[in-house]
Amino acid sequence: MSSVSLFTSESVTQGHPDKLCDQVSDAIVDAALEQDPTARVAVECAAKTGFLLVFGEMTTASDYIDIAAIARKTIVDIGYDRAKYGFDGHTCGIMSAIEGQSPDIAMGVNRAADAVNNADLGAGDQGMMFGYATDETPERMPLPLMLSHKLCRELATAREEKRLDFLRPDGKAQVTCGYDADGNPTHIDAVVLSTQHDAEVSIEQLREGIMREIMVKSLPMNLLRPETRFFINPTGRFVIGGPQGDSGLTGRKIIVDTYGGFAHHGGGCFSGKDPTKVDRSGAYAARHAAVNIVAAGLARRCEVAVAYAIGMARPVQVTVQTYGTATVPEERIAAAVRQAFDLRPAAIIERFDLRRPIYRNLAAYGHFGRTDTESPWEKADCVESLLTFA
């Protein structure tokens, strides 16, 4: 069937300046939770040439968390370990400005205003969270985003394995796919990939190496067409990268972290936040519900919307959008979600065991559709319950 629409999604490598900040923020969350599983953390980072600022709020029973050491190790692990890359975790300046969590927030989180028991936590903020799933890939994720993530992962692997010794940590990819009238992906229309590189490599050598080592190993050949367009470092030069080329900030890649633009987004980021923040835990729960709806065959494509009020345990909204693909009325699916899933923050935290140091590994290449990390919100383990209630 011929394509009637196009959709584009992007991803970035772990060396992208915004992703560097996400990973440092989540490494700090992990360190806090490792020492105190009940820690409250809301930490962000900003990076520019030779400098990283860590700021936010943290309340923990731990006597001391070495923010600078955590940041430096994360930066070096990413690949910024020498000055010629434009950023060096060994020598960059690091400043921190961290205070305790506001008692005005803590009082609402510690015990919800609508609590039925002392363990009921209130939501750490108001806001809307969206979960999405689709049957177009085995991971139940949009194809353009999964291919973009794969390209960026392969870039990082080729650099780490020195298969392309001219690669540097910063990079990004973008894939445009064609879809037929039934919403099935039909082909890859365009691929854009830009990677930081050393100054000596020629653009011809770079493009040949990227095509051989990255494109061929990442893209499904059956979806390529003779007219598929490839844009590899289209400006012709990308030597200055990372925080030297562009400032970095935690939470500026929220579409990369979620569904590549296929679903709504409430605006809150995940990185740097402990799981009492429903920006993180509520979004994981919404994804879990959407995954199970698609796995149950109740819809081929689904978005679950959940909204919270600060200090309240129960969400103020739970709705479902299936884009015309539902096999039963959407109202029945939404009612089944409300019965099959406990969406109170404390229940989400317990169900997914979110007070563990698991977040640094999620801070690059998306929080959903992951098979390389333990992500319980990806499990289709509530299908029977949904079908019972639907």
25-81 pLDDT, tens digit per residue, is 999 999 999 999 999 999 999 999 999 999 999 999 977 899 999 999 999 999 999
**Contact indicator for 124, 278 with CB cutoff of 8 Å:** yes
- On whether residue 265 sits in a domain, the answer given is no
SS3 53: strand
Give the mean model confidence (pLDDT) for residues 259-272: 97
The H or E element spanning position 180 is none
In CATH, what number is assigned to the domain containing residue 288?
A: 3.30.300.10
Q: Specify whether 132 is located in the same domain as 171.
A: no
Flag whether pLDDT at 2 surpasses 60. Answer: no
Q: Specify whether 361 is located in the same domain as 342.
A: yes
- On whether residue 68 sits in a domain, the answer given is no
Flag whether pLDDT at 246 surpasses 80. Answer: yes
Q: Given this model, what pLDDT does residue 55 score?
A: 98
Q: Specify whether 154 is located in the same domain as 194.
A: yes
Global pTM reads 0.95
Q: Given this model, what pLDDT does residue 101 score?
A: 85
Compute the distance between CA of residue 149 and CA of residue 153 in angstroms, rounded to an integer: 6
- On whether residue 297 sits in a domain, the answer given is yes
Flag whether pLDDT at 95 surpasses 50. Answer: yes
Flag whether pLDDT at 122 surpasses 50. Answer: yes
Question: Which pLDDT band holds residue 226 (cuts at 50, 70, 90)?
Answer: very high
Instruction: Show Cβ contacts of residue 275 under 8 Å, excluding neighbours closer than 6 positions.
Output: 281, 345, 348, 349, 352, 354, 355
- On whether residue 95 sits in a domain, the answer given is no
Distance of CA 83 to the CA centre of its chain: 28
If you average pLDDT over every residue of the chain, what do you get? 95
Q: Given this model, what pLDDT does residue 112 score?
A: 73
Flag whether pLDDT at 118 surpasses 70. Answer: no
Q: Specify whether 158 is located in the same domain as 131.
A: no
- With CA atoms as reference, report the closest residue to 270 among 130, 105, 100, 95: 130
Q: Specify whether 317 is located in the same domain as 384.
A: yes
**Contact indicator for 312, 113 with CB cutoff of 8 Å:** yes
- On whether residue 96 sits in a domain, the answer given is no
What proportion of the chain, given as a percentage, has pLDDT over 90?
A: 89
Count CA atoms closer than 13 A to 1's CA, side-chain side. 11
What proportion of the chain, given as a percentage, has pLDDT over 70?
A: 98
pLDDT in tens, 335-361: 999 999 999 999 999 999 999 999 999
pLDDT in tens, 313-332: 999 999 999 999 999 999 99
- On whether residue 251 sits in a domain, the answer given is no
Q: Specify whether 200 is located in the same domain as 219.
A: yes
Q: Specify whether 321 is located in the same domain as 366.
A: yes
Q: Specify whether 279 is located in the same domain as 361.
A: yes
Flag whether pLDDT at 224 surpasses 60. Answer: yes
Give the domain-ending residue among 218, 240, 262. Answer: 240
> 313-339 burial by CB neighbour count: b if 16+ within 10 A, else e?
bbbeebebbbeebbeeebeebbebbbe
Q: Specify whether 216 is located in the same domain as 282.
A: no
Give the domain-ending residue among 191, 225, 240. Answer: 240
Give the mean model confidence (pLDDT) for residues 198-217: 97
Q: Given this model, what pLDDT does residue 102 score?
A: 82
Compute the distance between CA of residue 226 and CA of residue 188 in angstroms, rounded to an integer: 10
Q: Given this model, what pLDDT does residue 296 score?
A: 98
Q: Specify whether 171 is located in the same domain as 199.
A: yes
Give the domain-ending residue among 240, 258, 285. Answer: 240
pLDDT in tens, 157-182: 999 999 999 999 999 999 999 999 99
Flag whether pLDDT at 187 surpasses 80. Answer: yes
- On whether residue 209 sits in a domain, the answer given is yes
Compute the distance between CA of residue 158 and CA of residue 179 in angstroms, rounded to an integer: 31
Compute the distance between CA of residue 41 and CA of residue 125 in angstroms, rounded to an integer: 13
- Work out how many domains the chain is built from and give that number: 2
**Contact indicator for 171, 152 with CB cutoff of 8 Å:** yes
Residue type, 327: T
Residue type, 12: V
Q: How far is CA 47 from CA 115, 238, 243, 350, in A?
A: 40, 19, 6, 34
Q: Given this model, what pLDDT does residue 1 score?
A: 38
**N residues, the chain:** 390
Q: Given this model, what pLDDT does residue 33 score?
A: 97
Q: Given this model, what pLDDT does residue 11 score?
A: 98
Q: Specify whether 336 is located in the same domain as 383.
A: yes
DSSP-based helix, strand, coil % in the chain, nearest 5? 35, 25, 40
- On whether residue 200 sits in a domain, the answer given is yes
Flag whether pLDDT at 155 surpasses 60. Answer: yes
Question: Which pLDDT band holds residue 120 (cuts at 50, 70, 90)?
Answer: confident
**Residue 165 DSSP code:** T
Q: Specify whether 280 is located in the same domain as 359.
A: yes
- With CA atoms as reference, report the closest residue to 298 among 388, 180, 179, 186: 388
- With CA atoms as reference, report the closest residue to 134 among 126, 144, 124, 148: 144
The H or E element spanning position 196 is strand 185-197
* Phi, psi angles (nearest 5°) of residue 190: -155, 150
**Contact indicator for 380, 386 with CB cutoff of 8 Å:** no
Compute the distance between CA of residue 148 and CA of residue 196 in angstroms, rounded to an integer: 16
SS3 327: coil
State which residues form the domain around 358.
Answer: 127-136+275-389
